[in-house]
Chains A and B, each alone.
Chain A
Amino acid sequence: MVNVTLKADSNQGLINRNIYGHFSEHLGRCIYEGIWVGEDSPIPNTEGIRNDVLTALQKLNIPVLRWPGGCFADEYHWKDGVGPLSERARMINTNWGGVEENNHFGTHEFLRLCELLGTEPYISGNVGSGTVQEMQQWVEYMTFDGESPMANWRKSNGREKPWKLTYFGVGNENWGCGGNMRAEYYADEYRRYATYVRNYSDNQIYKIACGPNEDNYHWTEVLMREAHQHMSGLSLHYYTLPTGVWQDKGEATGFNESDWFQTLKRTLHMEELIVKHSEIMDKYDPECKVGLIIDEWGTWYNVEPGTNPGFLYQQNTMRDALVAGINLNLFNKYNKRVQMANLAQIVNVLQALVLTEGEKMILTPTYHVFDMYQVHMDAERLELDYESPGYTFGEDTIPQLSLSASRDQEGVIHVTACNLSHTDELEVVCQLQATDSSVASGRILHHGEIGAFNTFEQPENVTPSEWKGVTLENGQLRFVLPPASVGVIAIKA
């Protein structure tokens, strides 16, 4: 049993809803077939966007969606992707193994998707192979409400009014596919490019600089030292691999208990990365004006056997549900500095929310975690005091319990909880301080097998259910987390 104290009067600041954001790259079947099927497709669609995926994603109230990459952004030239479909340039996506790109899903289509989802667009601009002028014109095309060559071109392409665009990435992974730059060089390039990412009309851009990969603290140091006055956010990329080895990452399914443990241990490394990068950011920005934007995170496994390796298609099990729950709890915990996070990726690629096959679509365990956790969006984080029991496997020990708590705008307190142990349930007794709430109910995502997943034949093998046994009496909340489970509890007056 573990004792927890939840301080209901401890306002720890807002949990930015953008922590629950997503990422959509032109890669494999994320965009094409996953989101975009075109108006002529037999698959029911709205202006080319498939309806089943749209409906599923609308239920998550996705706050922000990043596009078009990733590495794809490093070679994306936006002018190829506007105007009549039949006249759009065809190209080869060299970053992803030579995938053909017909540019049918471009700026108008992405921004229409965001409108249909009710989500904020986050566009990643091309510093690696693009020009300052190209980037300046893209922002002008999208946001200028006046007379200009780009605004007039937008109007001639069917969009009279500009879009509202807040989030703009000035480069992507410029330490790698975005130009193999040194931090010192990119810092100067960032300053130059960002200068011309203008605020047209009344549109205000939140500029996001390319930040570090994993534990590249030197990158953070240089970017903050040289350019923090010119940025609103700094990105961080960290992927969870069961093996930690890129050439053989481990399998998405059929894994053993050791793989389970090692994956969760590696995903917990996210906390060290947030803390250490934040310490550097604190030196130059003690008031936390610059957000840490974790705009690529999630699991990365070997591709599903028998699928094209360039498509990065993997299955999604209870293990992914735990990875999602643990990381989202961490992002909540560090809400002062972490202002956005984007799971990679939204459909059919890496740790996807939904998978498609022809006209079929299934929801993944990760989808269900995001559905359960959306209660934290824009809620006040509440302090939790507890000491987690250890979860030991072999000679390694990690915490067994991961928790978050917040109070939403209606006064409802929500607690999200993960039991990392693959064998042991965990009883939790939580003292609620400074609240007279008396009713608690919950939902739990759990399956008897840690490797359980949904298939097109069994789409509801892993789904949340009512969490029986959650009680609240005399200010004491009690619940039992089954092994390998993720739960959410609502506490009301």
Chain B
Amino acid sequence: MNSRLSMETGQKSERSLCKGCDDQYDVQISEAKLARLVELASRSRPVVADAEYERRLSSCYSCPALQYGSTCRYCGCLVQVRAKLLDSTCPFPYNSRWI
């Protein structure tokens, strides 16, 4: 699995400059980017009211499964996005922390 493709010269063509040599694979997500992703997700799907969003996020922020301040280890989701969407559920095994 190649995250940073060869810069090899010689036979390689220009098109193979990079699979991922920018920041697209960083697991640390900036607040600005998170806000943009939440806004994008909110455009096309029903969302919860602000109070419910804050309640869900509060559970996530105190959850041992939170990684990198943004990511749920059980589903790989950005919790700020998942918590915003009405149909979302908490994936904590056998025991939703949002209930």
Q: Which residues of B contact A309 (CB under 8 A)?
A: 24-27, 29
> How far is the CB of B26 from the nearest CB of chain A, in Å?
4
**Contact (Cβ within 8 A) B1 A69:** yes
> How far is the CB of A364 from the nearest CB of chain B, in Å?
15
The DSSP consensus for interface residues of chain B is loop
Interface stretch of the complex, out of A90-98, A129-137, A162-170, A284-292 = A90-98
**Contact (Cβ within 8 A) A29 B78:** no
**Contact (Cβ within 8 A) B76 A98:** no
Q: Which residues of A contact B46 (CB under 8 A)?
A: none
The DSSP consensus for interface residues of chain A is loop
Q: Which residue of B lies closest to A344 (CB)?
A: B1
Question: Is A246 in the interface zone, CB < 8 Å from B?
Answer: yes
Question: Is B62 in the interface zone, CB < 8 Å from A?
Answer: no
The docked-state distance in angstroms from the alpha carbon of A313 to that of B68 is 17
Partner of A237, one of B2, B24, B37, B81: B2
Number of residues from A at the complex interface, CB < 8 A: 55
**Contact (Cβ within 8 A) A180 B8:** yes
**Contact (Cβ within 8 A) A27 B5:** no
**Contact (Cβ within 8 A) B73 A32:** yes
The interface bits of chain B over 1-45 (1 if a CB of A lies within 8 angstroms of the residue's CB, else 0) are 111111111111000101110111111110000000100110000
Q: Which residue of A lies closest to B17 (CB)?
A: A246
> Which residues of chain B from 52 to 75 have any CB-CB distance to chain A below 8 Å in the complex?
67-68, 70-71, 73-75
**Contact (Cβ within 8 A) A213 B94:** no
> How far is the CB of B92 from the nearest CB of chain A, in Å?
6
Interface residues of B toward A: which range? 35 or more
The docked-state distance in angstroms from the alpha carbon of A175 to that of B11 is 12
Question: Is A268 in the interface zone, CB < 8 Å from B?
Answer: no
The docked-state distance in angstroms from the alpha carbon of A307 to that of B78 is 5
Q: Which residues of A contact B29 (CB under 8 A)?
A: 308-309
> How far is the CB of B70 from the nearest CB of chain A, in Å?
7
Q: Which residue of B lies closest to A43 (CB)?
A: B93
> Which residues of chain A from 188 to 241 have any CB-CB distance to chain B below 8 Å in the complex?
213-214, 216-219, 237
- On whether A96 and B25 interact (CB within 8 A), knowing A218-B10, A358-B91, the answer reads yes
> How far is the CB of A143 from the nearest CB of chain B, in Å?
26
**Contact (Cβ within 8 A) A307 B77:** yes
Q: Which residues of B contact A312 (CB under 8 A)?
A: 25
> Could you show 29 A-B contacts with beta carbons less than 8 Å apart?
A29-B73, A42-B93, A71-B1, A95-B3, A95-B4, A97-B23, A98-B28, A175-B8, A176-B8, A177-B2, A177-B4, A180-B7, A181-B8, A182-B8, A213-B6, A213-B16, A218-B10, A246-B18, A306-B77, A306-B78, A306-B82, A306-B85, A308-B78, A309-B27, A310-B25, A357-B91, A359-B93, A359-B94, A360-B91
| A interface list, Cβ under 8 A from B | 23, 25, 27-29, 32-33, 41-43, 69-72, 95-100, 173, 175-177, 180-183, 213-214, 216-219, 237, 246-247, 296, 304-313, 344-345, 348, 357-360
Closest 6 CB pairs of A and B: A218-B11, A70-B1, A310-B27, A358-B91, A306-B81, A176-B6
| B interface list, Cβ under 8 A from A | 1-12, 16, 18-20, 22-29, 37, 40-41, 67-68, 70-71, 73-78, 81-82, 85, 91-95
